[in-house]
């Protein structure tokens, strides 16, 4: 556990909503960049920036598996204790006012929890649909794609348009292999290039 005694780095991490969401996800199990981006519906580039920031702050560590996917996990859990000192001579609020504020806090909490639960239910359906879509991609790619590298590139480009360095940061695939795979995918009419960025070609050819 970490107790914050004025550590601005910790406050910077917890002050960002998406970093908090990533921490909650990594409490469940180690995850790789694309997995985090898909589960939290975030841009992979933003996920990489958050992960690298927390890794530099020594709250995360990483390892690369045999498929060259970089997994991130929590090094330490985080516990925040906040103590507020009441100014001397402060007049206590009337009981009725405190009671009203408390009830309002309860109602706000219940409303937010209800909204979160609705989003969780929606995300669970989306997770199921994403898993099915990935299965379809793998099964339909056998006669089209050359291997796992091309599948990983397609998955990354489905999130957003990316340059070669950005794809390398997200997937950890060597740059030369990325460039070769992208050239093959361009030749097959699956991806297209706009300047330094690559994107998945639409069915109409755009």
pLDDT per residue as tens, the chain (206 positions): 444 444 556 777 777 888 888 988 888 888 989 889 888 888 888 889 899 888 888 888 888 887 778 889 888 766 655 555 555 444 455 555 666 776 777 777 777 777 777 777 666 667 777 777 777 878 888 888 888 888 888 888 888 889 999 988 888 889 999 999 999 999 988 899 989 999 988 765 44
For residues 79-94, one letter each, b for 16 or more C-beta atoms within 10 angstroms of the residue's C-beta and e for the rest, the string is eeeeeeeeeeeeeeee
Q: Residue 37: which of 29, 47, 28, 27 has the closest Cα? A: 47
3-state helix, strand, coil in the chain (%, to 5): 60, 10, 30
pLDDT given for residue 129 in this prediction:
74
Instruction: Among 1.10.10.10, 3.90.550.10, 3.40.710.10, 1.20.1050.10, name the CATH number for the domain at 147-200.
Output: 1.10.10.10
Name the CATH code of domain 8-74 (choices 2.40.110.10, 1.10.286.10, 1.10.10.10, 1.20.950.20): 1.10.10.10
Q: Which two tokens stand for residue 136?
A: 């379809």
Q: Are strands 60-64 and 70-74 parallel, antiparallel or unpaired?
A: antiparallel
């Amino acid at each position: 556990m970490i107790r914050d005694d004025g550590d601005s780095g910790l406050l910077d991490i917890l002050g960002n909503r998406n970093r908090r969401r990533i921490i909650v996800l990594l409490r469940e199990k180690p995850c790789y960049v694309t997995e985090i981006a898909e589960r939290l519906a975030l841009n992979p580039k933003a996920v990489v920036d958050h992960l690298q920031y927390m890794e530099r702050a020594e709250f995360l560590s990483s390892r690369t598996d045999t498929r060259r996917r970089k997994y991130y996990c929590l090094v330490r859990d985080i516990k925040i204790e906040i103590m507020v000192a009441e100014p001397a001579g402060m007049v206590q609020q009337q009981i009725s006012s405190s009671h009203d504020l408390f009830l309002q806090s309860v109602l706000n909490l219940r409303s937010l929890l209800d909204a979160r639960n609705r989003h969780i239910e929606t995300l669970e359906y989306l997770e199921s649909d994403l898993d099915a879509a990935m299965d379809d991609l793998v099964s339909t790619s056998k006669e089209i794609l050359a291997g796992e590298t091309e599948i990983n590139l397609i998955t990354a480009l489905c999130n957003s348009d990316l340059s070669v360095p950005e794809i390398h940061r997200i997937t950890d695939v060597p740059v030369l292999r990325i460039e070769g795979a992208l050239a093959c995918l361009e030749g097959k009419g699956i991806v297209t290039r706009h300047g330094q960025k690559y994107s998945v070609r639409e069915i109409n050819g755009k």
